[in-house]
Amino acid sequence: MAVPGGPRCGGGSLGLLVWLLVFQPLLSEARAGRNERRLVLGSSGVDVVSVMLEEGLVVVGVDVVDMVDVVEVLEGRQQLHLQSFLLSPGTCGHRIMRIVGGVPSPERKWPWQVSLQVNNVHKCGGSLIAPRWVLTAAHCVKGYEEYTVRLGDTLLQSNSKNAVVIPVQDIIHYSYYNSLTMRHDIALALLALSVNYSAYIQPVCLAGKDFEVKAGTLCWATGWGRTLQFEPSRLPTLQETEQVILRYAKCNRMVKKQQNPFPKVIRKGMVCGCHEKSGGPCKGDSGGPLVCQFNNTWIQMGIVSWGVHCALKEVPAVYTDIRFYKEWVYDAMSQASTLDSGGFFIPLVCLGLALSILPTL
């Protein structure tokens, strides 16, 4: 999807060269130099917009005034108002449908949801964040497996005309991922081909480090996992469950209550959610998104990671908190997108666990 006023991905014109030489450094300086401002989910008087970064990646948590002010005061530069092509609300986190409530979730309701598969068998969930990039959990992906990603369909076993299957070209793990503590449970999958957006396939917005979600905020987790912990098989239809965001201290108390003694395992870089009436994610849901709605835009706050038990009411599920990894996502995409496997230039601007800890794989 092209950014209004900017180049189209894959173009080779002189205009694209000018864009790369002039505006990409400006964007880097703006990212590095702008003043911090916390944006609180549910607060009034704050206009949140999307900022297009590498190859279509969209990060939420920057407002128009911050970005434009920074660009205007860059020393030795002409004052440039980048709002027209860098700030593009509506490029992510939107679904093209009239929402119909109920479970299982209808088509188009979660168009960023993908199925990460091996030999056409569902292994984990994931979320589309750019035309060639999928976000998932590190514990879902192993270097020796050959993965494909299925997009655009809520039924895993159907031959839907809306479904698209694309091979995964490369996997990028967070280097400090720890399978024992489940810290830094995040990974990126680079697709072999760019996906075309449609009513059934759309990217989700990512929460930036300045974006705060208050405890008690209602969000949603989605996936094809089991609805009961010891259920023999996973469901072929995409499921959804409400999740209420919890504070660290409360989540730790609830986790310890499930098994005693139990070490304090909820750490920085994790976020918890649960619901007193609906179950949480379970095996097969790992890697899928935890999304929250704000100003008609869906923002991914977490990645399904682990839990003491799964799919139980009032038992918290633990998610990787994306806000702590936004810079890593940005940098990983920047490095991987410089050259693809065929040597073609891709424009940067377009772009075994303890038994008590059950990953939701």
The 3-class SS string of the chain reads CCCCCCCCCCCCCHHHHHHHHHHHHHHHHHHHHCCCCCEEECCCCCCCEEEECHHHCEEEEECHHHHHHHHHCCCCCCCCCCHHHHECCCCCCCCCCCCCCCCCCCCCCCCCEEEEEECCEEEEEEEEEECCEEEECHHHCCCCCCEEEEECCCECCCCCCCCEEEEEEEEEECCCCECCCCECCCEEEEECCCCCCCCCCCCCEEECCCEEECCCCEEEEEECCCCCCCCCCCCCECEEEEEEEECHHHHHHHHHHHCCCCCCCCCCCEEEEECCCCCCCCCCCCCCEEEEEECCEEEEEEEEEEECCCCCCCCCEEEEEHHHHHHHHHHHHHHHCCECCCCCECCCCCCCCCCCCEECC
Tell whether pTM > 0.85. no
The pLDDT score that the predictor gives to residue 234 is 65
pLDDT higher than 60, residue 76: no
Residue 177 belongs to some domain of the structure: yes
For the question of residue 139 being annotated catalytic, the response is yes
Residue 193 belongs to some domain of the structure: yes
Catalytic residue among 50, 105, 127, 286: 286
Residue 289 belongs to some domain of the structure: no
- Name which of 359, 218, 226 is nearest 301 in CA terms: 218
If you average pLDDT over each of 77-86, 227-236, 292-301, which comes out highest? 292-301
pLDDT higher than 50, residue 260: yes
pLDDT higher than 90, residue 54: no
Residue 306 belongs to some domain of the structure: no
pLDDT higher than 50, residue 47: no
Q: Among the listed ranges 20-24, 171-175, 194-198, 303-307, which one has the minimum average pLDDT value? A: 20-24
Mean pLDDT over 278-297 rounds to: 88
Catalytic residue among 139, 275, 305, 321: 139
Residue 125 belongs to some domain of the structure: yes
Residue 182 structural domain: 113-203+326-337
Mean pLDDT over 216-241 rounds to: 81
169: domain CATH number is 2.40.10.10
Residue 316 belongs to some domain of the structure: no
Residue 242 belongs to some domain of the structure: no
Q: 230: pLDDT confidence band, cut at 50, 70 and 90?
A: low
If you average pLDDT over each of 20-24, 149-153, 349-353, which comes out highest? 149-153
For the question of residue 84 being annotated catalytic, the response is no
Catalytic residue among 66, 153, 185, 210: 185
Residue 134 belongs to some domain of the structure: yes
Mean pLDDT over 157-172 rounds to: 91
Q: Look at the chain and report how many structural domains it folds into.
A: 1
For the question of residue 170 being annotated catalytic, the response is no
Mean pLDDT over 222-228 rounds to: 82
Q: 102: pLDDT confidence band, cut at 50, 70 and 90?
A: very low
Query: How far is the C-alpha of 223 from the C-alpha of 66, rounded, in Å?
Result: 36
* Cβ atoms of 125 and 222 closer than 8 Å: yes
